[in-house]
Structure 1
Amino acid sequence: MVAAERRRFADLIDPLTPEQLDTPSLCGEWTVREVLGHVVSPFAARRSWFLPLLLRSRFSLHRANAELARMVARRPVAELTAELRRNARNPFAPPVVGQLGQLTDLQVHAQDVRRPLGLAYAVEPEHVRTSLDFLVSRRSVAFGGGRRRGLRFAATDLDWAWGDGPEVRGTAEAIMMALTGRTVVLPELTGDGAAVLRKRSAR
């Protein structure tokens, strides 16, 4: 699944124009180009960069990671997508969240890119189901696990539901994006729990 999503991400990026690549994504202050830099950074970054980055960021992994994405993104896009394809089956897995976190990261960032650009990019049902199961597990704390507390989530386009309490209904993609803090999808969600989720996301 991870290998397939890496290849799909490269396919999504390859035809983009320079203007599209410089469009702000849904991921913080990153452009589409910088999201690509983040996705490819485990394979394209030099080990010698990490310590200076950590020092400059005062040992904030979040800030160091953001700067690393920008550094990698300076390389030609064709080189980066080729690097991603070459490493499609690379066993890299982030600490704590592992391969499930990597799978989820790839799918969410693909939507971070395609939504601002208005591109069609359907999720793969089994891939997004696997990520939804991960996002409601204890291992997903790095993705903002507190948002799901006391709510029931139900996908309208997939046989998937989880939790107890007021219900949040929406497409599997919209639920995945909401569970990872993308507030842009909140108007796409319905049910008594949707208002609760909107309040939590506004804090």
Structure 2
Amino acid sequence: MIAEERRRTADLVESLSPHQLATRSLCGAWTVKEVAGHLVAAVAASGGAALLLVVRSGFDIHRANARLAARMARRPAGELAALLREHAEDPFKPPIVGYPGQLTDLQVHGQDIRRPLGLPHDLRPDRLRISLDFLVGGRAVGFVPRRRPAGLRFEAADLDWAWGDGPVIRGTGEALLLGLTGRRAALDDLSGEGVAELRRRI
């Protein structure tokens, strides 16, 4: 699943115009191309270069990650796509978040790219369920603060998936995925008495 998502992301990145690549994504201040750079850096950056950036960033992982993404994004889009394909089947399994974390990273960042460009989400239901289970399962370190979903019930309108007890938040699986990971752009696509609380927590 991860390998195929990397290849699909490569196809997407390669298809975008310079204007689309320069569009601001849903992921903080990153452009679409910087999001692609982040996804490439996760599999193609050398360990030594990454460690050096961590040191130079005062051991701030998030800051180092942003700098690495920006550095990788200086490459042509075609090269980023080629690197994603070349490393599509990289077997590295991150600690704590494991393979579900990698799959979720690809799916969430895919929407960070697609939504601002008005492109259909193109998510696979079986993979989306894995990511939704991961995000509420307590191992999503760096994805979802533990308190964000606590005491709320999430119900997917287009998938056989629901989780939690409390005020209901209902929407498509894609909107739930983005809401759980703190993307405010998806909140208007959600309904239910729990949405106001989710908005406050984000």
Same fold flag (TM > 0.5): yes
Residue 185 of structure 1 and its aligned partner are, at CA, apart by 0.6
The 1-side partners of 2:122 and 2:15 are apart by 17
**Contact conserved, 2:96 with 2:141, CA < 8 A, in 1?**
no
Corresponding residue for residue 108 of structure 1: 108
SS at match of 2:166: coil
Residue 55 of structure 1 and its aligned partner are, at CA, apart by 2.3
**Bigger helix share:** 1
The 1-side partners of 2:47 and 2:159 are apart by 41
Residue 191 of structure 1 and its aligned partner are, at CA, apart by 0.8
The 2-side partners of 1:13 and 1:151 are apart by 35
Equivalent runs, 1:116-195 vs 2, <5 Å: 116-144=116-144, 145-195=146-196
Equivalent runs, 1:6-25 vs 2, <5 Å: 6-25=6-25
Residue-by-residue CA offset, 1:75-102 (whole Å, 9 max, x unaligned): 1211111111121111123221111000
Corresponding residue for residue 31 of structure 1: 31
Residue 56 of structure 1 and its aligned partner are, at CA, apart by 2.0
Residue 11 of structure 1 and its aligned partner are, at CA, apart by 1.3
The 2-side partners of 1:48 and 1:76 are apart by 23
Amino acid across the alignment from 1:66: A
Structure 2 residue runs of 5 or longer lacking an equivalent are: none
Equivalent runs, 1:57-68 vs 2, <5 Å: 57-68=57-68
Amino acid across the alignment from 1:21: L
The 2-side partners of 1:148 and 1:198 are apart by 11
Corresponding residue for residue 55 of structure 2: 55
**Contact conserved, 2:121 with 2:174, CA < 8 A, in 1?**
no
Residue 52 of structure 1 and its aligned partner are, at CA, apart by 2.7
The 1-side partners of 2:83 and 2:50 are apart by 19
Corresponding residue for residue 42 of structure 2: 42
SS at match of 2:155: strand
SS at match of 2:12: helix
The 1-side partners of 2:141 and 2:72 are apart by 27
**Contact conserved, 2:153 with 2:169, CA < 8 A, in 1?**
yes
The 1-side partners of 2:93 and 2:36 are apart by 17
The 1-side partners of 2:141 and 2:44 are apart by 27
The 2-side partners of 1:43 and 1:154 are apart by 33
Between stretches 47-56 and 121-130, larger displacement belongs to: 47-56
1:196 maps onto 2:165 in alignment = no
Amino acid across the alignment from 1:187: D
Amino acid across the alignment from 1:184: A
Q: How many residues align?
A: 201
The 2-side partners of 1:163 and 1:2 are apart by 27
CA RMSD across the alignment: 1.1
**Contact conserved, 1:153 with 1:175, CA < 8 A, in 2?**
yes
Residue 15 of structure 1 and its aligned partner are, at CA, apart by 1.0
Amino acid across the alignment from 2:116: P
SS at match of 2:170: strand
Between stretches 116-125 and 57-66, larger displacement belongs to: 116-125
Between stretches 4-13 and 152-161, larger displacement belongs to: 4-13
Runs of 4 or more off by more than 4 Å in structure 1?
none
